[in-house]
Structure 1
Amino acid sequence: MRKTEGRGGIAARAVVMLGTLAASGPAMAQTLVEGGAVNLGSILVTAPLGQSRSDIVEGTTLLEGDALDRRRALTIGETLRGTPGVASSGYAEGASRPVIRGQSGPRVRVLQNGLDTFDASNVSPDHAVAAPMAGVERVEVLRGPATLLYGSSAVGGLVNVIDGRIPERRPKGGLAGTARFEYGTGAHDLTGFGAVDAALGRNLVLHAEGFAQNSSDYAIPGFANDEARERGVKGRVENSFVRTRGGSAGASYIGDWGYAGLSIARFASKYGIPSGGHVHADEGEDHDHEHEHDHEHDHEHAEEAPERVTIDLRQTRYDAKFGLTRPFSGVEEVRGRVGYADYRHKELEDGVAGTVFKNRSWEGRLEAEHAPIGGLKGVAGIQGGRRDFRAIGDEAFVPPTVTDSYAAFLLEKYELGPWLFTAGGRLEHTRVEAAALGSERNFTGANLALGATYRLGDGWQVGASLSRTERAPSAEELFANGPHLATSSFEIGDPTLGKETAWTAELSLRRRRGDVTGGINLFASRYQNFIFGDFTGSSVDGLDVLRYRQTDADFRGFELEAGWTVLRRDGLVLSLDGQLDFVWAENRSSGDPLPRIPPVSYTVGANADLGQLTLRGEVQGALRQGRNAPNETDTGGYAFLNVSMSWRPLPDNDAFTLQLQGRNLTDAEGRNHVSLLKDVAPMRGREVRLVGQVQF
């Protein structure tokens, strides 16, 4: 049954109308407000030409420094949640991927230092991204056509998590390091991280780092769900603990010609999956057919303790990369990197190993930036990789598969007075083989993008871009067929799926200097043969049936952000900032909304910079989501009050920083519409966090 929209849906429609009116004029580009000032001049290392954010037409987000520390969470999804255009899959405290412009899974690529994370997080939302946040120095988010050079799996967006495990420069004085300690009251979170770079002689630099994180079941206001209420479990989400450990060692040889380095890293995580009282049905029971239970039987199941599902994850990863400056005539720089990882995780059911997932993968990337040719500046490259994935056990819902992919790409930009033109393309071949089924699928996709930016003066820029992308279906979308306990679903793929094609257009307008800065970015994507997991409303053995299928689909929306410096005096800067984003997505064939689309989200903040002391207060929230796909339910809105104080006791020196944070201080209940666990695991309640960091 379709739900009524309610007040949140009406508000969403109002936002859509405003966005439609705005689309009739110029649009503004996405920026990031850092304490009231919009920082658009930063260089994005993820951009193949090392472009400034002000030169990129599409939306970008950069998190580093205090802004990163304010948002840093156990997972990349939760760290980015609430940044413009980004939601979180919110499946568990230990497993949460970014959802960008309503798209997730195989359409959002998460990189670690420019290469794949080599995990199983694309397979299912309960699988963690193997990129620990403890040692992250910088997070870059790209949206729109700028992502196509990293593959068709980045059609929805790209996230690059950057750390310093392979040094690229010699530390000043020959030695540099960081130590950080974090404590949070919400789940008795305790994190320790330490890293050091040491130069041996003039050219060799060594790097070592390690971290540990412990988090208990997290606190919430009231009861998680009806089952928790019946069993008297109040104020926490059961089985939401997280324990992670890891570290890395690396070395680089650095000279005037560039650098070359390698690293080895180990990551381990054990975390619980909140079940909300899910109990398996009797063996062989099939709810595709009508089946009645007597009242006594239902009551007996309601009082049963939920089955505890735990993920035990291990990954060993090896990386090597180099950068050569002007290696020969006509080439400005050559960059290369290659990575390999051995990943596995066990799904434990009440402590007993059920299904084991293994993934052995490698990926390599080589790119060369040529010298200007008649005003053209560009980069060309090749990329390749293999993913050998297998699931073993009673609930191995995906057969063993091998996915090979190879690609060539090119990006060029040309400046003509106030104009900046960009053009890029990528040709990609993908082969997906399921030997046990005697099945092999081959796909070749062509991706193209064009963009133009016009500098209006006084810091204003207007831009537009158009792209066409083709994505091959993933192994899971093709060949899944079986029960998946952690998501309480029975997943069914379709081996006949074809490529999906998307046309995306963006308009932007932004101002990058002055006391009033910010922008708006509008986008629209039209998909042919869009692949999605559709809950059919039926069940098998008590598990909801999720079937992958194709349809035509439309996505459109906007991201709006602004910053205003209200007062500048000696020793005091006061500023305000805010952001608003919206995405609308529809199955064009049926007219129904697509599932798990984020609601309108917003942040309004105020900042006071007193030099050594920085204060911030903000309200972060989302409106009610009443525009739902079939078999979805409404999700109420929420508003969280957050405050933070950052203190540097040494003037003009970041050697020591102490940060005190209050998150959701009103202890409001919030549920994440994107999460499959929204009805059993609310978002965190009130908590206070203390972060201390020393750098030398």
Structure 2
Amino acid sequence: MPRLPRFAPLALALATALPALALAQEAGQRDEHDHDQPRTLDVVEVTASPLRQGIEDLARPVDVLTGEELDGRKSGTLGETLERQAGVQSASFGAGVGRPVIRGLEGARVQVLANGGSALDVSTVSADHAIGIEPFLADQIEVLKGPASLLYGSGAIGGAVNVVDGRVPTAQVGRTVAGRAELRHGSVDDGTVGMARVDADAGALTLHADLFRRDSGDVRIPGYAFSPALIAEEIEEGEDPDHFARGRLPNSALTTEGGALGASWFGERTWFGMAASTYRSDYGIPPGAHAHEEHDDDHDDDHDEHGEEEEIVRLDLRQDRFEARGGIRDVGAFAELNWRVQRSLYEHTELEGDEVGTVFNNTGTEARFEAVQREFKGWRGAFGLQMSHRDFEAVGDEAFVPPSVTRDLGLFALQEKDFGQFKLELGARHERVSVSPDSGADADRNATSLAAGGLWRFSESAHLSLNLNRAERAPTAEELFSDGAHVATQSYELGDASLDTEVALGTELGLHLHHGRFDGKISVYRTAFQDFIYLADTGLEQDDLPLRAWTQADATFTGWEAELGVELADNASGLWNLRVFADQVDARLDDGGRLPRIAPGRVGADLDWQRGAWRARIGAVRVQAQDEVAQFESATDGYTLVDAGIAYHWDVGMAGWEAFLEGRNLGDREARAHTSYLKDYAPLPGRNVMAGLRVSF
């Protein structure tokens, strides 16, 4: 029987404490604010669901980051922006790359969406490929935890992240013009970020425009770029420690820019919109990630400033997206009929010095149709059809995956009904995935997903949720057909065309309490995977690289996450709020082995203060050491990161201005993310102090 995760006692304590705190508040703490009454929460609409419900009305676990909280968390990558959400961490690969990790799952199991549509990039092909979505433009970011396969296909078996940026307006602004802009500068990389957005109504037409640019230099780090274990290994081989990079992470500078134009027309019952956007990024990969350094035996003048001959690899990414959306209301038995079509032209060139190493091309097309039914005998729901086509090609030294065409066709249905205090949610999806390599036989797989959820509102201030699901994931082209040196993972990868469909059987129990000054939630989950697909180290070598093979075995993920918000005081000193969160996931093969790069457990706290035009916060997160590792994988030490921020708001006419100062990793601690392939080559950034100005109108 697997042992409990190390934070399990805290989870049990919180589960017990939440109702107790509420009862204590009800029994004996009264003031002029009447905190005894159940609190009316702001309704946050989850757009990732066709029914567009409030977050409190969903049995499925969803987090939404928006408003001032989102402003305070925005970073250069999506993973870094979300990493303070319970159950979410980041799989960084230098300063330019950071994919979200949800409950220990990442890559091809976590779907990244822009306004409900696939990102259509190649970020899942390799760990060093960036996501073509800009967090600084987001109005809100929605995190669907657990299988989101019903809505978005087998690539969301571990969850989904939906970035809502309004590039195709879905509603009118309500006034002639509205917008926002922000400019900030950070000390850790001498980086500057600027963005601007404008939305305007012109009769029945609503227009949208945005642009952004980020420039930064090499990132400052507290100590050496190499981990102590790697330094010890290099010294043992005769290397001089003075040759190691220190203080700055070499080749971590980046430039990212882009923008969009969009417009929508709104009639009495119909609407239609289009948008065109572009994303450009030029970012470096820290040395050691793409090539082992070559050293002269005598360590002579061939060394650079760090004493190494390093192969400088930079990635030049370009993505152009075109999207059309529309809908019609009140059509017979349907409350809404909505559709979306998008196309992406993606090119990603890896430059090795002045030479072109590998070029990745991906042309993707996706179409989606959703029908939202009118309520029938208490049942509400939607069903739909989704199609996608991906034409992928890699040419050059890192072309470890052959050219292929992937086609996906899926049908889905969602239904829900309230039975007084109890709400039932049901869903099903079936899809057919076909991967056709440039040479060889096609790989055709079926994937069927089923889900049932229940929400029991046993009081006005608390509800209990239970979710059961069976989800399937078809293997990707990379897992099926890889055969070559993959320098991002420092291995020779070998796919297996006979890989079967991956099956996940999941159970989750959650409790949510919002009473008076308290708002807390806790969930425990277990997912048993049949034929879990992972990259296994064989212990052999090929072409002087470790041979790693895509293989399948049964695996089990168990974990929990908890969050508690408390209003400490609301008096002459200001409004004080405390948020505490913690999470833990335990993932292992059923034969007893460990899986690589599993996120370690964490506990964190944030104290927020607001008084008049001022607001401030201070917080810290403690990340555990991860020593329960896969074979041939290195362990990572624990670390604590402290951050803080202060902002002042003022109004000039119809415009609201805000000056802010933020600090991250204020202790300048060395931190290595266990979820990163680069944990031994590139620590997280050191102390970063950012100053900026934002305006909205």
Tell me the TM-score normalized by structure 1. 0.91
**Deviation by residue 1:197-240 (Cα, 9 ceiling, x = unmatched):** 2333x111222111111011111101111379532532111111
Tell me the residue number matched to 1:151: 153
Are 2:290 and 1:268 aligned? no
Q: Do 1:480 and 1:492's aligned partners in 2 also have CA atoms closer than 8 Å?
A: yes
Secondary structure at 1:66 match in 2: helix
Aligned residues of 2:363 and 2:391 also touching (Cα < 8 A):
yes
Q: Which one of 4, 15, 24 corresponds to residue 7 of structure 2?
A: 15
**Equivalent residues of 2:5, 2:584 under 8 A apart:** no
Cα pair 1:94 1:128 within 8 Å, conserved? yes
Distance 1:134 1:25 in 2: 37
The answer to whether the 8 A contact 1:143-1:157 is kept is yes
| Residue 561 (structure 1) shift | 0.2
Deviation digits for residues 466-504 of structure 1, max 9, x if unmatched?
A: 000111000000001111233322211111101011100
Shift of 1:299: 13
**Closer, same or farther in 2 for the Cα pair 1:40/1:540, shift >3 Å?**
farther
Most deviating of 303-312 and 663-672? 303-312
Task: Indicate how the Cα distance of structure 1 residues 19 and 176 shifts in structure 2: closer, same or farther if over 3 A, else same.
Answer: closer
The whole-number CA distance in structure 1 between the counterparts of 2:6 and 2:199 is 53
Structure 2 match to 1:240 = 252
Equivalent residues in 2 for 1:635-646, closer than 5 Å:
635-646=636-647
Residue number among 410, 418, 439 corresponding to 1:407 in the alignment: 410
Q: Judging changes above 3 Å, is the alpha-carbon distance between structure 1 residues 41 and 597 closer, same or farther for their aligned structure 2 residues?
A: same
2:464 counterpart residue number: 462
- Which amino acid in the other structure matches residue 407 of structure 1? G
Superposition map of 1:201-350 within 5 A: 202-225=203-226, 226=231, 229-231=241-243, 233-276=245-288, 279-280=291-292, 303-326=307-330, 328-350=331-353
Change (3 A) 1:578 1:67: same
Aligned residues of 1:219 and 1:685 also touching (Cα < 8 A): yes
SS at match of 2:79: helix
Runs of 5+ in structure 1 lacking a partner? 1-8, 29-36, 283-292
* Count of equivalent residues: 665
1:446 paired residue among 445, 448, 471: 448
CA–CA distance in structure 1, aligned partners of residues 340 and 358 of structure 2:
33
Distance 1:164 1:382, change over 3 A: same
Relative distance call for 1:27 and 1:61 in structure 2 (3 A) is farther
Name the SS of the counterpart of 1:650 in structure 2.
strand
Whole-angstrom distance in 2 between the partners of 1:374 and 1:425: 20
Aligned residue number for residue 182 of structure 1 = 184
CA distance in 2, matches of 1:65, 1:167: 19
Q: Is the 8 A contact 2:201 2:207 kept in 1?
A: yes
Matching residue within 85, 88, 99 for 2:87: 85
Q: 2:134 aligns with which of 132, 135, 157?
A: 132
Secondary structure of 1:625's counterpart equals: coil
For 1:360-379, what aligned pairs fall within 5 Å after superposition? 360-379=363-382
**Given the superposition, is the C-alpha separation of residues 25 and 595 from structure 1 closer, same or farther in structure 2, using an over 3 Å criterion?**
farther
Q: Which residue of 1 aligns with 2:596?
A: 595
Q: Distance in 2 between matches of 1:559 and 1:653?
A: 41
**What are the Cα deviations for residues 445-483 of structure 1, in whole angstroms up to 9, with x where unaligned?**
110000111111131001101000111000000001111
Counterpart residue type for residue 264 of structure 2:
S
Deviation readout 1:261-280 (Å, 9 max, x if unpaired): 00111111000011238655
C-alpha contact (below 8 Å) 1:465/1:505 kept by paired residues: yes
**Structure-2 residue corresponding to 1:101:** 103
2:583 corresponds to which residue?
581
Secondary structure of 1:173's counterpart equals: coil
Flag the 1:70–1:38 CA change in 2: closer, same or farther, 3 A.
Answer: farther
Aligned to 2:73: 71
Give deviations 1:319-343, integer Å, cap 9, x for gaps.
01113222x2221112211100110
Whole-Å Cα distance in 2 between the matches of residues 203 and 252 of structure 1?
8
Is the CA contact 2:372–2:381 (under 8 Å) kept in the aligned structure 1?
yes
User: What is the identity, as a one-letter code, of the residue corresponding to 1:575?
Assistant: N
The residue type paired with residue 257 of structure 1 is R
Q: Assess if the C-alpha contact under 8 Å between 1:463 and 1:509 holds in 2.
A: yes
Residues 267-314 of structure 1 show CA distances to partners (whole Å, capped at 9, x for unaligned) of: 1100001123865589xxxxxxxxxx9976999999432211111001
C-alpha distance in structure 2 between counterparts of 1:329 and 1:274, whole Å: 58
Aligned-partner residue type, residue 479 of structure 1: F
User: Counterparts of 1:54 and 1:146 in 2: how far apart (Å)?
Assistant: 18
Distance (whole Å) between structure 1 residues aligned to residue 526 and residue 12 of structure 2: 11
SS in 1 for 2:137: coil
Q: Structure 2 CA distance, aligned partners of 1:338 and 1:678?
A: 39
**Conserved? CA contact 1:27–1:509, under 8 Å:** no
CA contact (8 A) 2:182 2:693 kept: yes
Deviation at 1:137, TM superposition (A): 1.5
CA contact (8 A) 1:40 1:54 kept: no
**AA partner of residue 344 (structure 2):** A
The alignment's TM-score, normalised by the length of structure 2, stands at: 0.91
Which segment is superposed worse, 386-395 or 473-482? 386-395
How far apart in 1 are the matches of 2:290 and 2:340?
Answer: 44
Q: CA deviation at 1:536?
A: 3.0
Give me the identity figure in percent: 37
Give the partner amino acid of 2:555: A
2:390 to 387, 392, 396: 387
> Which residue number corresponds to residue 619 of structure 2?
618
Greater Cα shift, 174-183 or 12-21: 12-21
Greater shift in the superposed pair: 471-480 or 647-656: 647-656
| CA separation of 1:278 and 1:303: change in aligned 2, threshold 3 A | farther
Output the CA distance in 2 between the equivalents of 1:535 and 1:568. Answer: 56
Counterpart for residue 565 of structure 1? 567
Which structure carries more relative contact order (alpha carbon 8 Å, separation 6+)? 1
Residue 77 of structure 1 aligns to a residue whose secondary structure is helix
Q: Unaligned stretches of 5+ in structure 2?
A: 21-38, 235-239
Residue of structure 2 equivalent to 1:33: none
